[in-house]
A and B are shown apart, each in its own frame.
Chain A
């Protein structure tokens, strides 16, 4: 089984900040906006180096989305930066009409997504954002797994014409992908090959899936791990190829079960290759204050949860195919 290790932990939002700075140097059309969260989004280096291309709009996210839509008229590529909660639910109608329906080339960059935002609690821990964004026609939805991948995704979305939702997080997290890995929107990454069960994970949960695969290996279950960094468009080919081999699947995401990655995978499977499936996700509840890892544990998003889900789905598979 392929092993993954990490030597350092870094926050994915810093990957975004580094990517944005590099983009600023590469592409003069790239501009950035924030709603009073430049520091939290690690946009300060861009702001310092390109003050004329940086727009601080104050605590006014609805206006920020409209300004961003307008900036595209004239050829700019705006990157908006605020928390995931304020990047989606708070401004859904502005995104829907002025960005998605109008098909504007705005990159909505959203930090502090999910439970791992931690101590600030449920007001800020959005777990519905992937669902809201993937429902919008024209919108691409990306959720990278570590610092390097977030940086690479930030660079990649500037090359993509059309609105993008880029989701990342607050806590320091294991960096296990290579800094020179190419990021292709819509092309999943097969991290570990296996034959008994497929785990499809996104965002922070990719690392948890790798850890779970190691536990499962010790228990005699050969696990395939896919990093589904792009939720829309979904890499159906990668899903079907893997599930046709393993016969069952677990999805893992730091998001509500309703509307999340798992829902998209389930839709793909029921249309093409029905197979037993388990979901590791938050199930119809809000979060609360706490440390990131404590919260993942309490809300069922930890390694043991993925292991149990995998063992369950393997048992279900045996019954399913026995019929």
Chain B
């Protein structure tokens, strides 16, 4: 395992990237990005077997990741660049014209690391299941990972694929749900209650795990455990409790920072809490 301290440094730097990126264009989604930072850093720097220097769309022989809740693209782009998919300096182009780093992830600009467009919610799990089926057909024993937002479960097609994956015994797939309980218009409890997610996924026939997504050691441990749960004729889902805006005190505890950017003062206030560890872009 990479030293945990080094991974924590990456997390801090990624959080700096996120707030600087959204501040620079005064748009984007910092809240969920900050909340899922430990997960994404653990995935790319500890869990997945990937080949960032030679990105291939088919990804044969490597693990694949899909981001269904595409609005947390600042996090993904930061992690992809820090992992070596594209130059870190490119983060400065986020959401600007002629950039590969679109507001929501897209393949049209051939962004290394991105295999399907996402942003319109409720589609990523289906795509990930298709990619997992392709791996099975190809005799490729690598895994497919996908991250979803909890608000996405208000989209009907999620439940179509929940049924499908269990029925087809797609057991080379590890889905993770960012259970931060927040969406644009308020808490999920207020907007449209998701009910008992644990019971729902179990009832749909999935192997359900839990973790605190803002505890790096726990994230690594549970993701490793999830790997052990693959290959057992059931799809695996991790319900990951996170705090939206984690790491920036004034962004935590509310839905307010789902999709707005900090001003100059608030940027500084955020950066004061996130020391530069690997060098800013």
Q: Which A residues are closer than 8 A to B by beta carbons?
A: 31, 52-53, 55, 57-58, 60, 62-63, 65-76, 78, 93-94, 96-98, 101-104
Contacts and interface: CB of A to CB of B under 8 A. Distances in A.
What interface size band does chain B fall in? 35 or more
Interface of B: 57-60, 64, 106-108, 115-120, 122-135, 137-138, 140, 156-157, 160-161, 163-164, 167-168
A59 B10 CA distance: 44
Contacts of B134: 70-76
Nearest to B125: A66
Question: Which of B116, B125, B167 has the largest count of A CB atoms less than 10 A from its CB?
Answer: B116
Contacts of A103: 107-108
A70 B133 contact: yes
5 contacts: A65-B126, A70-B116, A73-B115, A102-B108, A102-B116
Contacts of B106: 101-102
A58 B58 CA distance: 26
B161 A66 contact: yes
Given A97-B118, A97-B120, A70 B130 contact: yes
Question: Which of A55, A63, A75 has the largest count of B CB atoms less than 10 A from its CB?
Answer: A63
B21 to A, nearest CB: 22
A199 to B, nearest CB: 38
Given A97-B119, A102-B117, A70 B129 contact: yes
Given A62-B126, A73-B131, 17 more contacts: A58-B163, A60-B160, A62-B156, A66-B127, A66-B157, A67-B133, A69-B116, A69-B126, A69-B130, A70-B128, A73-B57, A73-B134, A74-B59, A75-B138, A97-B117, A98-B127, A102-B108
A114 B132 CA distance: 35
A60 B131 contact: no
Nearest to A31: B137
A104 B116 contact: yes
Given A71-B133, A102-B117, A63 B107 contact: no
Contacts of A76: 134, 137
Contacts of B116: 69-70, 73, 98, 102, 104
A68 B108 contact: no
B133 A73 contact: no
Contacts of B156: 62
B71 to A, nearest CB: 13
B129 A66 contact: yes
A73 B117 CA distance: 13
B137 A53 contact: yes
